[in-house]
């Protein structure tokens, strides 16, 4: 079974994001970039399935600028067998990424695609669902446990009321939740081996996909700074402030 793992290069989660002075976007100059944390979980799950003998090949794919090759090499060091970069300088939106992945899936013919449920930069949480619709594949979003047997995926997924378990025939789409697993660290020997693993490059034009943005960002602003707390003398004063200032009770 072949598993395709889309990954995204994002600003590292430890970095405090800065907005550009003109409000046109986020400043990424000299900022540390890394693999989207939810995508790390997806890679780890694919590697575990291969270790169990369920999967035979793991293909990591990323869409974006040439620097995404670094992120793909990380995926290779974590256990992916080969990587594909769909290189473009266009700012990709979820629908464009889903179309690129759908076109690539038509060529690669994977039986399972595991995606992070969302990227920590735009928090869109759309690509997996759009991809499933484009491919007309069954999907299980927010997965906290995945089992594959006899061409059927059994997925426990996080829902508002707790969890639910679904079964779906392969090929299928799964998006990862935080509780699915704990990603491993890449060891130095595997990092060295990753340099020799195949990494090919293609383009949206070669896949016959239009990636022109459908949405326009008007302005990006930082959220307002939180005000400091205060002390009250008694419960009566607290209730008064909740009613008159916070307006959370009537």
Q: Mind giving me the DSSP string for 10-52?
A: EE-TTSPPEE-TTSSSEE-TT--EEE-HHHHHHHHHHHHHHHT
| Residue pair 5/104 in contact by the 8 Å Cβ criterion | no
Q: How many other C-beta atoms lie within 10 A of the C-beta of residue 81? A: 18
Q: Distance from CA of residue 148 to its chain's centroid?
A: 21
Q: Is residue 111 part of a domain?
A: yes
Q: Is residue 160 part of a domain?
A: yes
For residue 60, give both structure tokens: 């990591």
Domain extent, residue 168, equals 2-225
Q: Is residue 250 part of a domain?
A: no
pLDDT in tens, the chain (250 residues): 999 999 999 999 998 888 888 888 888 888 999 999 999 999 999 999 999 999 999 999 999 999 999 999 999 999 999 999 999 999 999 999 999 999 999 999 999 999 999 999 989 999 999 999 999 999 999 999 999 999 999 999 999 989 999 999 999 999 999 999 999 999 999 999 999 999 999 999 999 999 999 988 889 888 888 888 888 899 999 999 899 888 888 7
Report d(CA 78, CA 45) in Å as an integer.
Answer: 11
* Mode of pairing for the β-strands spanning 9-11 and 139-149: unpaired
Report d(CA 53, CA 153) in Å as an integer.
Answer: 15
Domain count, the chain: 1
Q: What angle do CA 5, 56, 136 make, to 5 degrees?
A: 50
**Given this model, what pLDDT does residue 222 score?**
86
CATH number at residue 149: 3.40.50.620
Largest Cα span, the chain: 70
Going from the C-alpha of 247 to that of each of 68, 158, 220, 235, 250, the distances in angstroms are 47, 33, 29, 16, 7
**Given this model, what pLDDT does residue 17 score?**
87
Report d(CA 42, CA 36) in Å as an integer.
Answer: 10
Q: Is residue 8 part of a domain?
A: yes
Strand partners, 33: 11
Report d(CA 228, CA 243) in Å as an integer.
Answer: 18
Strand partners, 64: 87
pTM, whole model, 2 decimals?
0.87
């Amino acid at each position: 079974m072949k598993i395709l793992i889309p990954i995204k290069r994002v600003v590292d989660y430890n970095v405090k994001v800065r907005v550009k002075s003109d409000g046109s976007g986020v400043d990424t100059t000299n900022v540390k970039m890394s693999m989207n944390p939810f995508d790390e979980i997806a890679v780890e799950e694919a590697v575990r399935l291969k270790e169990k003998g369920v999967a035979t090949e793991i293909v990591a794919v990323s869409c974006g600028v040439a620097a995404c090759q670094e992120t793909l090499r990380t995926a290779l060091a974590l256990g992916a067998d080969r990587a594909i970069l769909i290189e473009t300088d266009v700012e990709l939106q979820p629908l464009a990424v889903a179309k690129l992945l759908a076109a690539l899936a038509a060529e690669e013919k994977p039986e399972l695609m595991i995606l992070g449920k969302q990227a920590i930069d735009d928090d869109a949480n759309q690509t997996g669902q759009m991809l499933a619709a484009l491919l007309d594949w069954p999907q299980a979003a927010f997965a906290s446990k995945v089992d594959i047997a006899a061409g059927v995926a059994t997925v426990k997924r996080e829902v508002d009321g707790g969890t639910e378990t679904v079964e779906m025939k392969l090929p299928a789409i799964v998006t990862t939740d935080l509780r699915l697993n704990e990603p491993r660290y890449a060891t130095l020997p595997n990092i060295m081996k990753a340099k020799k693993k195949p990494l090919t490059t293609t383009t949206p034009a070669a896949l016959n996909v239009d990636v022109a943005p459908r949405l326009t960002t008007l302005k990006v602003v930082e959220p307002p700074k939180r005000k400091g707390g205060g002390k009250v003398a008694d419960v009566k004063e607290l209730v008064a402030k909740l009613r008159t200032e916070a307006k959370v009770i009537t």
